[in-house]
Amino acid sequence: MYTFPFEITDVEPRLNTELLHYFKGERTGFVQVGPEKYFFPHKYKLEAQNFYNFQSRPDDIWLATFPRSGTTWTQELVWLLENNLDFSTAKSQLLTERFPFFEFSLFVHDEIKAELLYENVGDKKKQEFIEHISTPGYKILDEWSSDKKRFIKTHFPFSLLPPSIFQEKCKIIYVARNPKDVAVSYYHLNRLYRTQGYIGDFSRYLNYFSRGLNPWLPYYSHIKEAMDHSHLPNILILNYEDMVTDLTGAILKLTTFLNRSISTEGLQNLIQHLDINNFRENPAVNGSEMADIGVLIEGEESFVRKGGSGKREELMNDTGLIKVIDQWIMENMKKSIA
């Protein structure tokens, strides 16, 4: 067993109180981890050792991204390539079951869980699903039979991933996306998910985002850690914008990386399946199961939004915000080449 190598500190009390006011999904507080000060709900303090000591298997496939970087889209793509383009299952079985989210349980505060269970009383299936999403991924995945390949989604930065992933040389796919688009999309996700429950405006959110005060931030530390591992043969780095403009090229890169093949007809069918209009309407991937139990807040933008890149309306309409985020990007780019 490994000893968790980083210090975990509580966010300063006054700032913690402010964040709890604007992020209603967390009820205890927030912590920051290690020298990069990765940001998480308080539950991470209790669970860090368990996540870090998860035992990977050599054939595990990990998708590691910063949130809102085309994660769900890439999950579906990877799963289909690895499962002989089984579109029938991809449309009927939830992606959250086929490709579990390793650390989502950290965001299901005990009080939120109790509220969801109460609101869904009398519906055994929904209550079982609430128990499922509040169970740590390391427990769920440990129960998968040894003859069943595991597909694992995570937003953990590379420094917080279980060391066994690297020891077993598991395949890791990392997708990077323009931080302006990430910030806008992540803002909407924080408003949509009750487990986050953000109630502020975008300007305030962007301030928190640039200061690393939202889960899995800071953004540039996350990206840098992935890039520092890009030389390893079991790691593939993809760019979301490249995937949007040349999905065929991205698919062919993945087939090579995964040692798979795909026919011309299969490629066309896969591209059609992944088309944003079809993807948005697919209940197996669009978050409908979360809406059914009350995790998604009505009136907010959908889980699968617009796709593409450059569609950051909150920024395009405010020159002041554009200046703020451009300055933040410039400062971080200077640090990265220093």
Provide the angle, in degrees to the nearest 10, between the axes of the packed helices 124-133 and 110-119. 170
pLDDT at 303 over 90: no
| Residue 8 maps to a domain | no
- Give the model's pLDDT for residue 34: 98
Q: Give pLDDT, residue 304.
A: 58
Residue 221 falls within a domain, yes or no? yes
Mean pLDDT calculated for residue range 59-85: 97
Task: Tell me what the mean pLDDT of segment 277-304 comes to.
Answer: 84
| Cα torsion 309, 263, 82, 85: sign | positive
What domain range is 97 assigned to?
A: 57-337
The count of structural domains within the chain is 1
pLDDT of res. 85: 98
Nearest in space to 304 (alpha carbons), one of 291, 313, 316: 291
pLDDT (tens digit per residue) in 185-204 = 999 999 999 999 999 999 99
Q: State the pLDDT at residue 208.
A: 98
Alpha helices in the chain (DSSP H): 13-22, 43-52, 71-82, 87-92, 95-98, 110-119, 124-133, 137-142, 163-167, 179-192, 202-210, 219-227, 240-245, 247-257, 264-274, 276-281, 288-292, 313-316, 319-337
Work out the percent of the chain whose per-residue pLDDT is above 70. Answer: 94
In a domain, residue 34? The reply is no
CA atoms within 13 A on the CB side of 110: 4
- Is 237 inside a domain boundary? yes
Does residue 27 form part of some domain? no
**pLDDT tens readout for residues 119-170:** 999 999 999 999 999 999 999 999 999 999 999 999 999 999 999 999 999 9
User: Could you read off the pLDDT of 227-271 as tens digits, one per residue?
Assistant: 999 999 999 999 999 999 999 999 999 999 999 999 999 999 999
Arithmetic mean of pLDDT, 23-45:
98
**pTM greater than 0.85:** yes
154 inside domain: yes
The answer to whether 162 touches 52, Cβ cutoff 8 Å, is: yes
Asked if the structure places residue 50 within a domain, the reply is: no
Tell me whether residue 13 is in a domain.
Answer: no
Tell me, what CATH number does 128's domain have?
3.40.50.300
Residue 105 scores a pLDDT above 70: yes
Compute the average pLDDT of residues 281-298.
Answer: 91
